[in-house]
Amino acid sequence: ELHFKESLKLANENKHPWAAAYALCGLGRSKMGSGQHQAAMRYFLDAASIVKDLYNQEMALVVIAGIANLLLDLGKIEAAIELAVFVEGQPFSWKETKAQVKRVMEASVSTTTLSPVLLSAAMQRGRKREIWQTIDQLLEGGFAEVWRTA
C-alpha cells in the first residue's frame, strides 16, 4: 500500500493523471485485500473519474477489473461476472487486466449461488456493455444497490 501511496503522491506532484489513476487502482486492490471495501470503492471511483477525463480505454478497463473483483469480494457475483466478462472481451484490455478478472471468471464456473439462467444473463449483459457507459454508470451510482452493502 505504501508503494501506491508514494506513486500517487509523485503522480500528483508531476501532474501525471494516468499514473495517478493507476496508483489509485493499486490502492483499491490493496484496501480490498485488507477487507476495507468502502475505501477500495472510493479509490476505484476516484480512478474512474480520472480515466473518464483522460478518455483512456485501457485504464478504464483496469478500473472496471478492480471493481469486478471488489464486487466478487462483496458476494455480488452476478454484477462481478457481468463486468469481468466485459473486461475479458475487450481487444484493448491488457494481459495484466485480463489476469485481474481471472478470479471472477473462475468464480463464474464454480458458483452455486447463481442459477444457470442468471449466470448466462450476466454474461450476456457483460458482452453488450460499452466502456464509457459503464464508467458513467459506476460514477453515477448505477451499482448503488451493490455499494449499500459494502
Question: What whole-number distance in Å separates Cα of residue 74 and Cα of residue 16?
Answer: 31
With 70 as the cut, is the pLDDT of residue 21 above it?
yes
- Half-sphere exposure (Cβ direction) of 67: Cα atoms closer than 13 Å: 32
Position with higher pLDDT, 124 vs 107: 124
Q: Is the dihedral of CA 141, 119, 75, 65 positive or negative?
A: negative
Express each pLDDT in 49-62 by its tens digit. Answer: 999 999 999 999 99
Express each pLDDT in 74-90 by its tens digit. Answer: 989 999 999 999 999 99
With 50 as the cut, is the pLDDT of residue 150 above it?
no
Percent share of the chain, pLDDT over 70? 94
Express each pLDDT in 126-139 by its tens digit. Answer: 999 999 999 999 99
Question: What whole-number distance in Å separates Cα of residue 54 and Cα of residue 135?
Answer: 12
Instruction: Give the chain's end-to-end CA distance (angstroms, integer).
Output: 20
